[in-house]
């Protein structure tokens, strides 16, 4: 089911459209972007949603996409269906129909077999990212499927112990810097050769290449900032074509990890500071940044960005983000932003 009607160019598509490849996918037309993604989306449900949006205002375009997703630990991806609308609602209590659209989509999700697993997003027209912009992503469990420190700790036989501390830190139950020092200490004495094997074990999240490509077509720089480690992030960045990165530096002596971090820890405040620095260096306000993360360590960055995205997140972050993506595909972020 794909439906489009003519509409004026959206702010996200007009400013730099002349600079994009002629065959680049088109952005959604101007309007609020509403999206519903689930394992199945019955056609009658989508038709009813579209009809209700039309009754309340105007629908500028409707698209349905089959999107590959890959759960953590899964060898092969599965598929979810994602429907997205560009719409302008006039019959609503708020100025742009945000709350009404959320209610309509949540009511529709409640009719699905697993409503708690559905992704529901609404991005008001005023928040749709304009060109020029910037994308900044967290790394562990966001840009990649794994937690790097757990992969390293597995070489010391302490993966389960470190994973438990990581989980608590990402829920915001522990001070991140203190928890990082505790976890890195578990790596003391490991040979530096474990770094290369960890780089090989890392897999980019499903849809990462598509999201990065969409931003690159727009001329956006794509950065990554991590509470993980430069030694793993830098080769990953080169592989994915990222612009700049920031992360912790594992201290090394005599070809072994010392169990310490060299320099200040990249915590939530440092992530937000790095976002502001990168935006300023590009001559952009922070309101032009799309920031994506999954845990409490990303909270300051995500809430300070123009559009903050919580990706398969912990509750501490989900409650504060503009968009919450429940399925493990970064391509859903592209769709939720209204990008082509």
Give the pair of three-digit tokens for residue 64: 């349905």
Is 27 known to be catalytic? no
Is 294 among the catalytic positions? no
Closest CA to 228 of 261, 257, 193: 261
Give dist(CA 297, CA 119) in Å, integer. 22
Round to whole Å and give the CA distance between 187 and 118: 38
| Residue of 66, 93, 107, 138 marked active site | 138
Q: Taking Cα atoms as reference points, which of 76, 75, 67, 3 lies closest to residue 39?
A: 67
ω into 132 cis (within 30 of 0): yes
Tell me how far CA of residue 166 lies from CA of 27, 146, 263, 269, in angstroms. 38, 12, 20, 18
Q: Are 324 and 310 in contact (CB under 8 A)?
A: yes
* Given the residues 23, 27, 94, 140, the one annotated as active site: 140
- Residue pair 206/77 in contact by the 8 Å Cβ criterion: yes
For 277-322, list the strands marked E by DSSP: 289-293, 307-311
First-residue to last-residue Cα distance in the chain: 17
Give Cβ neighbours of residue 192 (< 8 Å, ≥ 6 apart): 252, 255, 256, 257
| Contact yes or no for 216/334 (Cβ under 8 A) | no
Q: Is the dihedral of CA 277, 281, 285, 290 positive or negative?
A: negative
Which single residue is written with the structure tokens 């689930």? Answer: 38
**HSE of 323, CA atoms in CB hemisphere, 13 A:** 34
How far, in Å, CA of 62 to CA of 46, rounded?
10
Measured CA to CA, the distance from residue 21 to residue 11 in angstroms comes to 18
Catalytic sites, residue numbers:
138, 140
């Amino acid at each position: 089911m794909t439906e489009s009607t003519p509409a004026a160019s959206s702010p996200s598509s007009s400013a730099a459209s002349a600079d994009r490849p002629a065959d680049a996918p088109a952005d959604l037309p101007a309007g609020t972007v509403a999206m519903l993604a689930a394992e199945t989306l019955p056609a009658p449900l989508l038709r009813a949603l579209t009809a209700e949006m039309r009754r309340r205002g105007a629908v500028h375009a409707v698209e349905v996409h089959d999107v590959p997703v890959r759960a953590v630990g899964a060898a092969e991806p599965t598929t979810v269906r994602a429907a997205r609308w560009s719409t302008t609602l006039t019959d609503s209590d708020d100025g742009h129909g945000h709350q009404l659209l959320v209610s309509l989509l949540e009511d529709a999700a409640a009719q699905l077999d697993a409503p708690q697993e559905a992704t529901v997003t609404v991005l008001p027209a005023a928040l749709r990212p304009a060109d020029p912009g910037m994308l900044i992503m967290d790394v562990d469990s966001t840009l990649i499927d794994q937690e790097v420190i757990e992969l390293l700790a597995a070489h010391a036989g302490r993966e389960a112990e470190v994973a438990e501390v990581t989980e608590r830190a990402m829920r915001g139950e522990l001070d991140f810097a203190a928890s990082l020092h505790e976890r890195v200490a578990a790596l003391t004495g490991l040979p530096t050769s474990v770094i290369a094997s960890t780089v090989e074990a890392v897999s980019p999240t499903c849809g990462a290449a598509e999201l990065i490509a969409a931003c690159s077509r727009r001329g956006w720089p794509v950065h990554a900032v991590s509470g993980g480690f430069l030694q793993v992030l830098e080769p990953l960045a080169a592989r994915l074509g990222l612009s700049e990165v920031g992360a912790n530096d594992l201290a090394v002596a005599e070809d072994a990890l010392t169990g310490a971090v060299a320099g200040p820890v990249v915590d939530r405040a440092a992530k937000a500071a790095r976002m502001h620095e990168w935006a300023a260096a590009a001559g952009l306000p922070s309101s032009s940044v799309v920031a994506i993360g999954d845990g409490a360590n990303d909270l300051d960055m995500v809430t300070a960005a123009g559009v903050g995205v919580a990706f398969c997140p912990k509750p501490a972050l989900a409650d504060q983000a503009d968009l919450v993506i429940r399925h493990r595909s970064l391509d859903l972020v592209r769709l939720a932003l209204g990008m082509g």
